Structure 1
Amino acid sequence: MAPPQKSDKEVAAEFTSYYLQRATTEFAEDLDKVRAADDFKNDALQILVSALKQGTALFSPEEQRRIVTAAAPPENTR
């Protein structure tokens, strides 16, 4: 039996989480440099996260669903 299909909202939330994990992994060194800068304030962290999240807009809902589905761990097939 196939699992129920996720709503677009659920897919978008999972994609955003996946995207942010990948982005922070890929850009870890650069993000550390930004956070270590003398002029980086705590309130700038929210701006940085918001800017990273904007990258999700480059992906259509269909692409997001495909990526989330491909990134999901395989179902237990007992």
Structure 2
Amino acid sequence: MTPPQKPDPKVAAEFTSYYLQRATTEFAEDLDKVRAADDFKNDALQILVSALQQGTAMFSPEEQRRIVTAAARPATKP
């Protein structure tokens, strides 16, 4: 059994960026509703971003590398 791979800071940063982009795209309508709420304050934006970033912890360094590598490949046409 191989020991777990340590995260590569560059891959982790690229994955976090990719993950946040996908999350905000997928949840755009919900995020707009949250931001439009009467009780949403400007300082809550950082809390919201932090909460979304915590989702990256579900992915191992190997999964993050695989996803970043796949996302960097150009799409092929059938």
- Tell me the TM-score normalized by structure 1: 0.84
The match for 1:66 is 66
The C-alpha deviation readout for 1:23-66, integer Å capped at 9, x for no partner, is: 00000000000000000000000000000000000000000000
CA distance in 2, matches of 1:73, 1:48: 30
Aligned-residue CA RMSD (Å): 1.1
CA distance in 2, matches of 1:33, 1:69: 33
Q: How many residues align?
A: 68
Unaligned runs of 5+ in 2: 1-6
CA distance in 2, matches of 1:37, 1:56: 26
The match for 2:54 is 54
Pairwise CA distance, 1:73: 3.5
CA distance in 2, matches of 1:63, 1:73: 16
Identity among equivalent pairs (%) = 91
Unaligned runs of 5+ in 1: 1-6
Runs of 4+ in 1 over 4 A off after TM superposition: none
1:36 aligns with 2:41: no
